[in-house]
Amino acid sequence: MNVAKLAHPAEEVAPRLLGAVLTHETSDGTVSITITETEAYSGTADPASHAYRGRTPRNAAMFGPAGRLYVYRSHGLHWCANVVTGTDGIASAVLLRAGRVVAGEDLARKRRGAEVAGPRLARGPGNLCRALGITAEHDGTELLTGASVTLSEGEPVPAELVRVGPRVGVSRAHDWQHRFYLAGDPTVSAYRLSPRAKPPAGA
């Protein structure tokens, strides 16, 4: 993986990240996850984006440069990881929604729970971060320079397996077709519409 592949709008990069591998090395061991589901979020033109109202200390990593990790807390409960994309200074990132554990399953299971089935270990953005051991301390990490968290190329994904749909659980711009996932993959999270989502004007 190189920065040139990430230096494009989030909605272009999101499907390209399917099949890529995110790895986190710790003193406890290493976990690697093949990405199976993503969502694209832009900047001030995207009402569902954290950057919609501009730059803040919380979302600073989202403004680049491409190839960094943007980590945030969701609902005060779960850490969520995003790959920063686009042009430095313009907010753009891809949320990693789900993946398949391809290395370090024992450690991922220790973090997630012994009773959790294999396909569920990294299903959903919060579970993905928990399986990998990613927290706020990794916000801003350079993914392409050999840090403890790295993003690498995986096996190419056949285009016919890629599906596109609306983003999960957001109340604004929920109908934007910015979610990308692998058809039939058991690790992909279930779609749900936010109860706060409003129908399009005139609907």
Per residue in 44-64, pLDDT (tens digit) is 889 888 888 889 999 999 998
Closest Cα partner for 131 from 146, 144, 116?
116
User: Which pLDDT score is estimated for 115?
Assistant: 94
Quickly state the pLDDT bin for 102 (edges 50, 70, 90).
very high
Query: Domain spans of the chain?
Result: 3-182
Both tokens of 170, joined, read 């957001």
The DSSP bridge partners found for residue 84 are 93
d(CA 64, CA 61): 6
Average pLDDT rounded to a whole number, residues 6-13? 96
Coil, strand or helix: which one is 80? strand
Q: What is the pTM of this model?
A: 0.93
Whole-number mean pLDDT of the chain?
A: 92
Q: What is the rounded average pLDDT of the residues 165-191? A: 90
Amino acid (1-letter code) at residue 61? A
131-158 pLDDT per residue, tens: 999 999 999 999 998 889 999 999 999 9
Query: Percent of the chain, pLDDT > 90?
Result: 76
Q: What is the CATH number of domain 3-182?
A: 3.10.300.10
pLDDT of residue 201: 44
Q: Is residue 200 predicted with pLDDT exceeding 50?
A: no
What are the C-alpha distances in Å from 78 to residues 30, 81, 126, 129?
21, 10, 5, 8
